[in-house]
């Protein structure tokens, strides 16, 4: 349990101490506000990332996360398994270092790999913000 001051400041930023009762849309809204990122299922021309599924000729699914939708790099942007894809989506969100709007096209935002990435990004951001708020409170005491 974290302190009331920290909980209140987190709520002001759109984050809850316990995310279990939040919807995916609420977590995406908090991440959107924090990182200036837009999640969309509409194929826009100017997305930062395109995340979608493709099927091989023999019926196997592969997942793509690319900045270039017409020429994805097979060795670095095509995923056979979704664990690494979830991690890379999380990193793309939480490691964003500029204020420029990031648009993330996701073919289906109800896919488990994407939902996992959203929960992980939300929790990582909440933890980072909690530590920053604690540091700020500690600094103000001194």
- pLDDT, tens only, 31-50: 999 999 999 999 877 899 99
Coil, strand or helix at 63: strand
What is the model's pTM? 0.90
Return the higher-pLDDT residue of 98 and 93: 93
- pLDDT-derived band at 17 (thresholds 50, 70, 90) equals confident
| 98, pLDDT greater than 90 | no
Inside any domain, residue 142: no
* Residue 59 DSSP symbol: S
Asked if 128 and 9 touch (Cβ cutoff 8 Å), the reply is no
96 and 65 assigned to the same domain: yes
Instruction: Kindly list the distances between the CA atom of residue 2 and the CA atoms of 10, 18, 126, in Å, as whole numbers in the listed order.
Output: 10, 10, 12
10 and 53 assigned to the same domain: no
4 and 60 assigned to the same domain: no
Please give the residue range of the domain that contains residue 15.
1-35
Instruction: Kindly list the distances between the CA atom of residue 9 and the CA atoms of 5, 13, 84, 115, 126, in Å, as whole numbers in the listed order.
Output: 6, 7, 32, 25, 11
40 and 29 assigned to the same domain: no
25 and 51 assigned to the same domain: no
Number of domains in the chain: 2
- pLDDT-derived band at 2 (thresholds 50, 70, 90) equals low
Inside any domain, residue 108: yes
């Amino acid at each position: 349990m974290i302190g009331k001051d920290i909980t209140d400041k987190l709520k002001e930023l759109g984050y809850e101490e316990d995310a279990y009762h939040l919807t995916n849309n609420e977590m995406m809204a908090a991440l959107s506000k924090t990182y200036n990122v837009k999640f969309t299922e509409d194929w826009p021309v100017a997305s930062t990332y395109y995340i979608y599924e493709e099927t091989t000729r023999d019926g196997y699914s592969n997942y793509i996360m690319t900045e270039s939708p017409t020429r994805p790099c097979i060795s670095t942007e095509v995923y056979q398994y979704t664990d690494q894809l979830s991690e890379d989506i999380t990193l793309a969100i939480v490691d964003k270092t500029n204020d420029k709007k990031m648009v993330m096209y996701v073919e289906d935002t109800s896919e488990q790999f994407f939902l996992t990435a959203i929960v992980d990004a939300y929790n990582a951001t909440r933890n980072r913000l909690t530590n920053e708020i604690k540091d700020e409170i500690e600094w103000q005491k001194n």
